[in-house]
């Protein structure tokens, strides 16, 4: 007996639906969806404290499962987060690589401005001394505004929401359900200590060099990482930058002693065996900017993996 065509089609659709549902609930598919994908956003990619027209000050963010981890807090980081579509209320941890103003200028401002909006949960902050004293002084400096907003807008006290942790050496920094963060000491004279950070996320590992000259500690930290975000300096363009500075001799000495050239960056990434190298914290910056292809071409002979020339608000 031949089934009516309409009945056969209905049974076929039912069977297909059951098969799709079974596939959606299969153990493999559940495990795949249970591992959240990390997002890496370069909020600011300039190097140095002087504001630049083409690049924002140093800052980055990693987002895992809706939770945001901020690395460095250069000038304007809160606005860069908003431009990137990130929720200021999702900040849970902030990591400072070293005590230079281009990396710390908006440390307090980020949390203060986030608190004036959606932030109402504690934030742990991590970095070299005097992080705790910086936090205390920032809160004291802005006490009048904080108390006014608490009384006028019903906001909770800000001080208990900021929990600074000072780091003095390498090792495990923190670990939660989403990331494991490890620090290594790098060399950025005369600033000590200076740190690089490795984030082991559910789907990949991401390392931030911070500011450093070539460092064996960084190579060890970045060994086998999926992504290395590394500062970079282009020597042929240094003279243009230095010519604009009244302290040219001292500045040149500092840059050569405490930063990493394009050639050195490529060799470091090769030695560490990373998959992707992201160029960041560009020195020199400003006007006229060094073209993207110049940065890539200067690094490529020394690293055969994937090279990304970072830009503000780029997601990787």
**For 4-14, what is each residue's pLDDT tens digit?**
333 333 333 34
First to last CA, the chain: 60
pTM of the model: 0.87
Question: Mean pLDDT over residues 270-296, rounded?
Answer: 94
Predicted pLDDT at 214: 98
**Would you say residue 168 has pLDDT above 80?**
yes
Lowest mean pLDDT among 104-108, 237-241, 252-256, 308-312: 237-241
- Which of 72, 93, 102, 211 does the annotation list as catalytic? 102
- Percent of residues, the chain, with pLDDT higher than 90: 80
> pLDDT tier at 247 (50, 70, 90 boundaries)?
low
pLDDT number for residue 33: 44
Phi first, then psi: give them for residue 278, nearest 5 degrees.
-110, 120
Label residue 28 by pLDDT band (50, 70, 90).
very low
pLDDT averaged over the chain? 89
Q: Percent of the chain having pLDDT more than 70? A: 87
- Does residue 54 have an active-site annotation? no
**Residue 154: left (phi > 0), alpha (psi -120 to 50), or beta?**
left
pLDDT digits (tens, 9 = 90+) for 44-92: 999 999 999 999 999 999 999 999 999 999 999 999 999 999 999 999 9
The secondary structure of the chain in percent helix, strand, coil, rounded to multiples of 5, reads: 40, 25, 35
């Amino acid at each position: 007996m031949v089934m009516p065509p309409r009945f056969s089609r209905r049974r076929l659709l039912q069977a297909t639906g059951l098969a799709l549902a079974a596939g959606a609930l299969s153990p493999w598919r559940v495990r795949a969806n249970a591992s959240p994908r990390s997002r890496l956003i370069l909020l600011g990619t300039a190097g140095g404290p002087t504001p630049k027209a083409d690049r924002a000050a140093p800052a980055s963010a990693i987002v895992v499962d809706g939770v945001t981890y901020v690395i460095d807090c250069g000038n304007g980081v809160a606005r860069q987060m908003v431009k990137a579509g990130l929720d200021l209320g999702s900040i849970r941890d902030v990591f400072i690589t070293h005590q230079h103003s281009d990396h710390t200028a908006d440390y307090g401002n980020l949390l203060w401005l986030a608190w004036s909006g959606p932030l109402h949960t504690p934030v742990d902050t991590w970095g070299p001394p005097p992080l705790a004293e910086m936090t205390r002084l920032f809160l004291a400096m802005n006490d009048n505004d904080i108390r006014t907003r608490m009384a006028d807008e019903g906001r909770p006290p800000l001080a208990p929401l900021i929990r600074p942790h000072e780091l003095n050496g390498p090792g495990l920094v923190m670990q939660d359900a989403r990331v494991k963060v490890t620090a290594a000491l790098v060399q950025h004279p005369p600033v000590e200590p200076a740190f690089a950070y490795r984030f082991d996320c559910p789907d990949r590992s991401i390392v931030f060099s911070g500011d450093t000259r070539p460092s064996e500690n960084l190579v060890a930290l970045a060994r086998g990482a999926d992504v290395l975000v590394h500062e970079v300096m282009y020597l042929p363009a240094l003279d243009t930058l230095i010519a604009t500075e009244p302290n040219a001799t001292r500045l040149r000495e500092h840059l050569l002693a405490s930063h990493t050239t394009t050639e050195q960056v490529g060799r470091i990434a090769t030695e560490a065996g990373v998959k992707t190298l992201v160029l960041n914290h560009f020195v020199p910056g400003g006007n006229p900017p060094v073209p993207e292809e110049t940065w890539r071409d200067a690094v490529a002979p020394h690293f055969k993996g994937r090279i990304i020339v970072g830009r503000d608000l780029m997601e990787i």
